[in-house]
Structure formats: structure tokens, C-alpha cells
Amino acid sequence: MPIKARKTASSKMKSDQDLLLVWETLCQASTQPPKIKGQRTHGAACSHIEAKSVSTKPERITLKKMPSIREALKDTGVTPAEVFTVLAPKMDASPSLHNGKAQFPTPLTNYLDSQYFGEISIGTPAQLFNVVFDTGSANLWVPSQSCSPLYTACFTHNRYDSSKSHTHIQNGTGFFIQYASGNVRGFLSEDVVVVSGIPVVQVFAEATALPAIPFIFAKFDGVLGMGYPEAAIDGITPVFDRIMSQGVLKEDIFSVYYSRDPGHIPGGELLLGGTDPNYYTGSFHYVNTKGKGKWEVIMKGVSVGEETLFCTEGCNTMIDTGSSYITGPASSVSLLMKTIGAVELAEGGYTVNCDLVMSLPSVTFHLGDQEYPLTQEDYILWQSQFGVNICTVTFRELDLPPPAGPVWILGTKFIARYYTMFDRANNRIGFAQAL
């Protein structure tokens, strides 16, 4: 969940209709029309721009479950503790001013354990990228071919090369996302972005500066924000809003499934325009978003076992597909860890004695008029290191100052248990028991 920064140069954003007209002109002038899945082409003209009837079937994006940054670090013999030792001198949690507005940095470790990525394409012909679909942000960024050789993280990923795309539209406005350990910086471009066969002409960021740690170890190339337009940097219309504006979806919703089975293929699924009953059971229960602009709700309590310990008067809670763990205010998480007998690690996480895992209590989140319990199987991560079992608790402390915080964040560990539907039409989030 990056903290939003403002543009460094002015840029007038085109309307969806204007952008499509620009793309159509470029395509008609091209000898190689884009090939979009499930769309017809006639000569050099981009016939897939023509109005498409409302789809009766949701558009599926298969999600791959790949090694996380933390797992990649382990494979190279580098421990997370060593990473945090490097990051510590650079970390600064104090707000800074950008265009007169305070921006509060968020640790890059949000993506440290991200495992679920999906493929998109940018440009004509298509250039492929693995991205994290992140409801905690609203922009799309990928590494740029223009990335400086000084930033080695760029060169371990697919990079967008505008010179190889004949539908690229130059923009050049400066772009950055502020993190506690540094900035992802670059500039804006426009091009054809294809998500699950749906083409949109999209303003996105070409990242020319990526912090080596942790991105050099990441298995994903970039981030595609699924948040509201109000959350977007530079006032850019998000990808999902572009898709909705075409009227191609049966419903203006998207839903997320994350498999809890490490060997399951696919590792998960992002479904645009509907839900998939193959991945959940029972009915959806809905919680209205706190206000238009964020996938944030009011949580009514957090219980450990039978006792409600936190949020008794309500607290802000984000449902974040880009955050692997469950985070909360440090005072609350610290007490929760003490309650279950967890021991803090040097890098900020917690572990428990693996022999005691089955005796741990459930942790229940009260959302709307429903209770959503996580058992010890849901919130304990079993790992083996040097032949020794390590049981990590999937809760993390995160203190964000107002207005961003205090906040709880329910990430992929929660979504893996509860199939989640994000309803833009009604500004609500629905949960059902995942299979």
C-alpha cells in the first residue's frame, strides 16, 4: 500500500474516448495491428476498439503463486534480518511535503511476502509483465527500458521499451511513489494495456529508479493498482475504471481467490465482472466502504478466542490484496502476540513454538454483522530452515499517523480464507467462505 505522491509536472489527462481515438489512429497507420485475445482484426485497423457487447462471462486472470521475496532471500542465503540491517539507516517514517501536502511513507516490506501475480501486456506488439493486483493503490507501474544501470533491480525484471511499441504515446510527466526506504521514481507514458483480453489505453508509470532491496529479489515486475480513482497519483484514471467505462463487464465488480494449497494450480484468480462459485461456498455478506475512494471499512472488533480485545469502538480497516500479512497498530498487535505467546524476531516479525500451534486460539474479525475467524492454520506460516521448523505468525505491527492511520490491514492471508468481492457499483465489499 504505497503512499500517494503528486505529479512533478503538469499534464492534461485525456478522456477515455480521446485516448481510444488516438489508439485507433495509431493502429490504422500501423502495418502490425495489435492482436488482442478474443477480438477480431481486419487488416491494419483496430476493429477490437469497436463497441463490445456486455459480457455474459466474467473475464478471468489466472494468478501464479510464486516464491515471495522473503523466500528468494532465503534461497540466496540472505536473511530478512540482514535486509533490515541494510534498510534501517535509510528508513524514515516522518512525513514529507510534496506540493504542500504531507505524504506518509510506507515500508517496502508490504510486498516482501507477495506471492500472487498475474500477467498483463503493454504495448503493440505486446510486452508481457507479471504484476501484483493491489487494492491498496490505484496506479500501474512497471520497470522501464530507460532505467539507469545504477539500479540493478530494473535488470532482473521485464522492462517496458517504448521504442518497440507503435501505440506508445509520449507523456514524460515525472512520477514517484514514496516508501520509507526510498522512492520508486520514473515518468508517465501512455500505451495499450491488455488485462484478461480487454484492451484499454492507459497512462502508467515507467519506473527508472527501483530500490535494489527488496525489488531485486521480487518475482513480479510491477504493480497494478485496483483502488479507486481518488487514491491515484497524478489523478490518473485507474485501469479498472478504464475497463468499466467500456461497458464490457456484466457487473462493475471484481473478485479475488487465493489458494491455500501450495501445490494448487492456478495459485489464484482475479475475476473481472463477476464471482466464481467454484471457489466459494454459501452466500456473500457485505460491508459498505467507509467512504468512496478507498477499499476501507469499519471493523467492529477483533477477538482472540472468546474475548474481544481490540476495535471495540470500531476501527478503520483496509482489505488489501497487495499486502500478504495482517497488520494493525503496534500496541494492539503486540498485545495479541503476547496473548498467544509469540516471540518477536529482530526483523519485526513473530514466531511461536511449533509444538504449541494446534493449541493456539482463533482470531476473529467482526465485519458488518458477521464474524470472520482465522484458525491457527490460517495465521501461522510453517517454514523449514536448515532442517528446523519455524512457525511464523502472519501478523505485523504497522503504525501510520493520521490521516492514513491508525488502520488495520487484512491482506492475502485473510482473503485466502474468505473469497472477496469488490463492488464498485455499490461501494461495498463482499465476503464468502473460500473453498
Q: What Å distances lie between residue 113 and 86, 158, 325, 394, CA to CA?
A: 18, 20, 8, 10
Question: Of 113, 191, 241, 320, which one is the catalytic site residue?
Answer: 320
Task: Give the amino acid at 402.
Answer: P
The helix/strand/coil state of 17 is helix
Residue 431: other Cβ atoms inside 10 A: 25
* Alpha helical stretches, state H, 351-420: 376-379, 412-417
Beta bridge partners of 202: 191
Does the annotation count 234 as an active-site position?
no
Alpha helical stretches, state H, 341-427: 376-379, 412-417
CA 338 to CA 330: how far, in whole Å?
12
- Residues 113, 134, 234, 252: which is the catalytic one? 134
Sign of the CA dihedral with 393 first, then 65, 255, and 292 last: positive
Say whether 221 is catalytic.
Answer: no
Is the four-CA dihedral 408, 366, 61, 57 of positive or negative sign? negative
Residue 185's CB: how many other CB atoms inside 10 A? 21
H or E stretch covering 273 = none
Q: Which one-letter DSSP state was computed for residue 109?
A: G
- Residues 175 and 137: their CA atoms lie apart, in Å, by 14
Bridge partners, 127 (sequence order)? 122
Distance CA 174, CA 354 (A): 49
Give the active site residues.
134, 320
